[in-house]
Structure 1
Amino acid sequence: MVATAQDGADAQSMRPSRPVPHTVEDLVGLTGARLVPAASGTAAPVTGVALNSREVQAGDLYAALPGAHLHGARFAADAAASGAAAVLTDPEGAREVAGAGVDLPVLVSPEPRSWVGPVAAALYDSHPGDGTGQDLFAVTGTNGKTTTTYFTTSILRALGHTTGLIGTIEILAGDTPIPSRLTTPEAPHVHSLLALMRERGITATAMEVSSHALEFHRVDGVHYDVAGFTNLTQDHLDLHGSMAEYFEAKAQLFTRERTRRAVVVLSPDEPWSGAMAQRARENLGASAVTTVALRGSDTSAAEAADWTLRSLTRQGIGNSFVLQHADGRVLRVHTGLPGDFNVANAALAVLMVLDSGVALDRLQAALDEHDPLTASVPGRMELVGTEPTSLVDFAHNPDALVRALRSVDPREDDGRVIVVFGATGERDTTKRPVMGRVAAEEADVVIVTDDDPHREDPGPIREQVAQGAREAVANGARAAEVLVIAPRATAIRTAVRMARPADSIVVAGRGHETAQDVNGVDIPLDDRVELRDALAEMHMQTKEQK
């Protein structure tokens, strides 16, 4: 990520007003790092921590970490000029700092990244999950993290909490929204946000926790009250290499160091959920893990689960359902969002809140009186228009795409499903033809276009996706047409022009995003705006023809 001038402003707005000063010696005791004193022999108190030299404020510990292309120690002089009190780095970085003549105390550790979170927790006094009045909820998994965190905060508000949210779309600290650049911010931001939220009287916060966050120590030093698991399907293999390694990254959340309790959705479609439930039981103890079996789970899974989905009724575009515990207790739940996957997200959110210590009858009353699971989630099955039903979703991997397309299948009329999507550049290439195949299997019209190509040539990406769709059609898949259209705005308008009133259009892959990265340049593009404008134009033309 390239830093901008705005980064510093965002960092400032996320700082708590009352940090806890620590001496350099205090931090040596915390981290076990080797201290190289400043040549001048002076050392100022440390009151903050920053990973980016552009975010450094007076009194900060500058964490100079090795990067993909440059070592952060190269910017130690800039950090010192901005008022840094000390530097945390590895042996290579220490040599770079010394060579640059930077006169600051240097804490040298072989794994400096692993200490950024604990240091930030100490400096900002975030102490999450320790009874300070802020309940913390974490959600991990491939798909559904964002929606589940929105559902969770909506339930908590219905219960009377003042809530915080840290996620892909936005960070909400009280009533103050702060744009989010990462699914989970870096460790200094996480801890400063939690402290800031506590200062503002926030009593419960839900956070998305990605595999990247766990691998790169972004949530080190955070302890959650309840952690939830949605599912594990193919994604991010460019980072993890295999599904087994991807699983291990996610499993780091379900340990005593990171959470008090866990809730796991047992999915019938993939084997990883049962393995995650078992891993959580081994780490946390069986009594600290709650499982929920969804409709379609095999008999053994349903019998072993704590909660089971016993009924599911379509209600508008959403669903009503009942969760039944093995001891006979029930929860009646409704969500206004479409799709079986949102039933799973809703069930997970409800049970996470229940496991935080809320009485069942109080939770049921909140669900009945406030309908909190009909909360709109930006870019997640977001309804943009009707006749044709037109939605924008973030689905950017095969499993999410299947779920989105199945959720809008007309079933009872002659409407078609039209999908517009692409694949991201510089990411896992193996999923491209797979996404094309599943689109052809689940939709009647497949329009392949560009997602975020980044610095990769978009043409070959489109062709890899389209080839998967064409091969599926040759093997008898559902799609009657496979089109390749760029740019993306044109593809969206083409879908709208093709659509009949009974059809459903799903524009997938980018969701809430408002800029498309093409060769390193952010081009303004919002699928919701493009789809809404195309629908308005179509309806205007229809009126004129009449």
Structure 2
Amino acid sequence: MENAQAITTDAALLRPGGVSAVSVGSLASAIGGQLLQLADSTDPGGVEVTGVSLDSRAIRPDDLYAALPGARFHGASFAAAALDAGAAAVLTDSTGADLLRASETPVTVPVVVAADARAAVGSVAARVYASQPADGSGLSLFAVTGTNGKTTTTYFVNSILRALGETTGLIGTIEILAGDQRIPSKLTTPEAPTVHSLLSVMRESGMTAASMEVSSHAIEFHRVDGIRYGVAGFTNLTQDHLDLHGTMQAYFDVKAQLFTPERTERAVVVVADDDDAWGIAMARHARAQLGADNVDVFAMRGGVVGDRESGPERRGADWTLHSLTRRGIGHAFELVHRDGRSLRVSTGLPGVFNVANAALATLMVLSSGVALEDLQRALDQHDPLTTDVPGRMQLIGTQPTAVVDFAHNPDALARALAAVDPPEGDGRVILVFGATGERDKTKRPLMGEIAAREADVVIVSDDDPHGEDPSTIREEVMAGAQALIEAGGARATEIHQIAPRSVAIHSAVRMAGRNDSVIVAGRGHETVQEIAGVDHPLDDRAELRAALDEMRHSTQEGWGETK
């Protein structure tokens, strides 16, 4: 077996070194699958596998090939390539089994047929990679879900854990950190075989804890099946991904699956205020599922959560926010428990929403069993919540303040704009943003409206158009901004449509004065822009730095500082 520390840029190729072979018969029995023998072979149930892959191109000898239905093709169509690469068995559904029977290439390896093969992959991968050993030697696992704040919160959790002396791993939107490996992410949450393999690699590498972003797609498509977390955290729920889920209730219902005994031991839920219907609903759901004593509810404002007289699952918030003050561009604050315990916390990242992210991360670590005194000492001595998070309210320059953020939905955009708003009368907010193609179209005019309401100068450009006409996307965003202007509710005095995005960024900086704030929103850490199926190099951070450098060289005073 290849050493776990071998250099790779693809997480799907990173495998643990200490895997024990597992028989196909035992896997079939565990998932209630039917074991088929499509051609002459001996004892199909006795065949053993040492890996799992959904990608025929990533198959290694003795792997189980999971041939699943896809958006355009069924994985069984690529079984011949998987077998040529050394696959020892195939897991598929009834449709896949029919395709294998009809294949011109005889399938001489055992085939396991499951009613829902995708739903079975997680538990199969968990067994093959022993990602959570029964002896308790696995990692302490933290999961964060919600619409906004997942990435920052996982980085915060990891930073606190490192301040406490833990050796940590991370699986998320920006990157995967596993031992000596730093791998760019392709998905917010990788497919189930990759997740389970990574957890085993982390354990072999000496990791003691790991945090993961868990998206609604990950839950919907069974990417985190077979994992039980120590603590799961909920940030918020606002409009996004309705192209997949259809309604906000359906979106909530998918997220809520994480807060069940099968998936987590404990939970921390953020409730923004007494009008946060989704936060309150998640708090009640988690308490009902896990027991009120296993759930900490943190209220940013208010703290009613539910009727205190209607049972413990509807009691008030456990933790509330106190003494919020500015600390540089960030904040210092206090978390106070209803029993009188408290924690002093600070973060150097801008925005009140990062107060919520910092509080959530702190309380998740506390919920994992860390003593309050030890946690307070780590917060005081190491300032772990001022860690850099690539592309998340990332400060690129000063004079003017220049920030890149991942805000790509209405709520995130409003929060980001509020975070960079200069003191009244001191400067303007100049925004560059767009909307993603082939995603929820209903949020485009909403984002245009928010931009016109919260920014002084709005530049609508392109995000990732994918296969859509970029000009059509821009016009749909512009429509929301123009509607607000016509209604007389706009703050914006200028609205421009500028493409390509690099030109829009440079134009924004040229418009800026030294006391203004320039924010480039939507793409964050991403380094390529997809247009009509072609990836074009584009890093908002690099473009913004270049524009600021040009400004510094062209102004007599030399302002336009970069970080």
Question: Which secondary structure does the structure 2 equivalent of 1:292 belong to?
Answer: strand
**1:540 is matched with which residue?**
553
- The 5 A counterparts of 1:342-421 are 342-421=354-433
Letter in 1 for 2:276: E
| Separation (CA, whole Å) in 2 of partners of 1:415 and 1:130 | 59
Query: Residue 297 of structure 1: CA displacement?
Result: 5.7
Q: 2:107 aligns with which of 83, 86, 102?
A: 102
| Separation (CA, whole Å) in 1 of partners of 2:234 and 2:373 | 24
Q: How big is each residue's C-alpha offset from its partner over 1:148-198, in whole Å with a ceiling of 9 and x where there is no partner?
A: 000000000000000000000000002320111000000000000000000
| Separation (CA, whole Å) in 2 of partners of 1:69 and 1:330 | 53
- The 5 A counterparts of 1:231-250 are 231-250=236-255
- The answer to whether 1:478 aligns with 2:491 is yes
| Separation (CA, whole Å) in 1 of partners of 2:147 and 2:133 | 25
Q: 2:436 aligns with which of 381, 401, 424?
A: 424
- The answer to whether 1:201 aligns with 2:214 is no
Letter in 1 for 2:144: V
**2:509 is matched with which residue?**
496
| Separation (CA, whole Å) in 1 of partners of 2:107 and 2:476 | 50
| Separation (CA, whole Å) in 2 of partners of 1:130 and 1:104 | 33
Given the superposition, is the C-alpha separation of residues 402 and 297 from structure 1 closer, same or farther in structure 2, using an over 3 Å criterion?
farther
Q: How big is each residue's C-alpha offset from its partner over 1:268-327, in whole Å with a ceiling of 9 and x where there is no partner?
A: 263101000111111111111100010366697998100000111011100000000000
Deviates more, 1:379-388 or 1:127-136: 127-136
Q: 2:471 aligns with which of 459, 473, 479?
A: 459
How high is the TM-score relative to the length of structure 1? 0.96
Asked if the contact 2:231/2:267 (under 8 Å) is kept, the reply is yes
| Separation (CA, whole Å) in 2 of partners of 1:466 and 1:120 | 46
Given the superposition, is the C-alpha separation of residues 454 and 160 from structure 1 closer, same or farther in structure 2, using an over 3 Å criterion?
same
Asked if the contact 2:303/2:316 (under 8 Å) is kept, the reply is no
**1:290 is matched with which residue?**
296
Letter in 2 for 1:176: Q
How high is the TM-score relative to the length of structure 2? 0.93
Q: Aligned residues: percent identity?
A: 64
Asked if the contact 2:41/2:108 (under 8 Å) is kept, the reply is no
- The answer to whether 1:526 aligns with 2:539 is yes
Q: Which runs of 5+ in 2 are unaligned?
A: 1-6, 309-314
Question: Which secondary structure does the structure 2 equivalent of 1:283 belong to?
Answer: helix
**2:95 is matched with which residue?**
92
Asked if the contact 1:234/1:399 (under 8 Å) is kept, the reply is yes
Query: Residue 11 of structure 1: CA displacement?
Result: 4.8
Q: 1:77 aligns with which of 58, 74, 80?
A: 80
Asked if the contact 1:158/1:372 (under 8 Å) is kept, the reply is yes
**1:35 is matched with which residue?**
35
- The answer to whether 1:516 aligns with 2:494 is no
- The 5 A counterparts of 1:144-183 are 144-183=149-188
| Separation (CA, whole Å) in 2 of partners of 1:135 and 1:297 | 29
Q: Which runs of 5+ in 1 are unaligned?
A: 1-6
Q: 1:505 aligns with which of 518, 529, 544?
A: 518
Deviates more, 1:62-71 or 1:288-297: 288-297
Given the superposition, is the C-alpha separation of residues 48 and 300 from structure 1 closer, same or farther in structure 2, using an over 3 Å criterion?
closer
Question: Which secondary structure does the structure 2 equivalent of 1:304 belong to?
Answer: coil
Asked if the contact 2:153/2:357 (under 8 Å) is kept, the reply is yes
Given the superposition, is the C-alpha separation of residues 242 and 538 from structure 1 closer, same or farther in structure 2, using an over 3 Å criterion?
same
Total equivalences in the alignment:
540
| Separation (CA, whole Å) in 1 of partners of 2:284 and 2:485 | 39
Letter in 2 for 1:15: R
Q: 1:273 aligns with which of 258, 275, 279?
A: 279
| Separation (CA, whole Å) in 2 of partners of 1:199 and 1:224 | 19
Q: How big is each residue's C-alpha offset from its partner over 1:477-534, in whole Å with a ceiling of 9 and x where there is no partner?
A: 1111111110000100110000001100110000000000000000000000000000
| Separation (CA, whole Å) in 2 of partners of 1:122 and 1:136 | 17
| Separation (CA, whole Å) in 1 of partners of 2:25 and 2:133 | 24
Letter in 1 for 2:29: G
| Separation (CA, whole Å) in 2 of partners of 1:228 and 1:182 | 19
**1:318 is matched with which residue?**
330
| Separation (CA, whole Å) in 2 of partners of 1:367 and 1:133 | 26
Q: How big is each residue's C-alpha offset from its partner over 1:100-120, in whole Å with a ceiling of 9 and x where there is no partner?
A: 122221111110111101111
Given the superposition, is the C-alpha separation of residues 310 and 129 from structure 1 closer, same or farther in structure 2, using an over 3 Å criterion?
farther
